[in-house]
Each structure stands twice: as C-alpha cells, then as structure tokens.
Amino acid sequence: MTLTVGAETTVVAGARVYSVRVAATDEPRSMKVTITLDRLIEWTFDEPGWRPLSLGVASGEAYLWSARELIVLPTSLHADPTLTKVDEDLLLVFRLDAGWLLVCETSIRLAVGHHERTRLEIGEVIEHASWSVPVLVVRDARGHEHRISVDGDCLTIQSSV
C-alpha cells in the first residue's frame, strides 16, 4: 500500500493500531509523516517526498518506507520506531526471519537491525521484484530477469535471463 501527501490511513498489525498521516512540507523534496500508536504515542518524521510512502505488515509487525528510509514500527508502547537509511531510492521491502530484504533502484540489500549486511549491485534500474522464499526475482529496465538466492546474510545471483 502506498500513501500520498494528504493521505491518512489506519494499519492494524497484531494487537496494535497505527494511524499514519502524510503532510507536505517542501514538495517534492520532503513530506512530514506522523505515526500514532494506539492513540497514545506519536512520532513525526521528515521523509523524502519524491516517492510515495509505502506500508507493509509481516508477522504482526508494521513497517513503512520512503524513498530513502525504512521505518519499523514498535510493537510495544515502551519502544520507538527503528530507522534504516539507504543511499539510493528504496522501491520495495520484504521482511525476513533475520532482517529485511531491501530492493533499491539498482541494488538488493540485506539489512539486520538497522545495519546493511550485504549488497548486490544489479547494474541496471530495477522495475519489478517478487519474493518467493528463498528466491527474489527482479526484472530490470532492459527486461532482464535476475533470480537472487537469499541464504542467511548471503545474496547470490542464481541466474540472469
């Protein structure tokens, strides 16, 4: 799910209810994202605004990502969101048992906590990706399909067509 400037949505993950609001600050360069947990705690982030904000839920955990940052929302009232920054546009994020699979504009990254562990450069702009454990299938702008195996913190290209 993606959210554009002016949007507000409610996300339920496990036993937690999150409200996410997006407001413009300096379009298209930035947007203000406000997240409320169970109507009790609120956080506000300044995020890049040239890509829509995207939301995901996996294993009872909610997360969102902007053009340059993954924000993992807390499952407890006593915790804060965790942030993982990247240095190129972030297209898709998939939850793994041990961390996060980040599909960026020209690379695939494996992050544990908020630290990048492994990076695999594709060499071309990525247009689409799909995840079927343990293989990520990526199609680039030239129409080539890359099958990438994820094993622990290792990313390996199985084949490129």
Give the residues across from 89 on adjacent strands: none
Question: Who contacts 10 (Cβ-Cβ below 8 Å, separation ≥6)?
Answer: 17, 18, 19, 20
3 token code pair: 């959210």
The answer to which of 22-26, 78-82, 121-125, 152-156 has the lowest mean pLDDT is: 22-26
CATH 2.40.10.480 in the chain, residue ranges: 86-161
Residue 104: closest CA among 71, 70, 81? 70
Number of neighbours of residue 80 by Cβ within 10 angstroms: 11
Largest CA distance in the chain: 50
Q: Which residue reads 């939301």 in tokens? A: 55
Residue 8: per-residue pLDDT: 86
Residue 2: per-residue pLDDT: 73
What would the 3-class secondary structure string for 73-138 be? Answer: CCCCCCCCCEEEECCCCEEEEEECCCCEEEEECCEEEEEECCEEEEEEECCCCEEEEEEECCEEEE
Cα 20 from chain centre: 15
Q: Which fold has domain 86-161?
A: Thrombin, subunit H (2.40.10)
Average pLDDT of the chain is: 92
Residue 121: per-residue pLDDT: 95
Percent of the chain with pLDDT over 70: 96
Residue 29: per-residue pLDDT: 82
156 token code pair: 């390996």
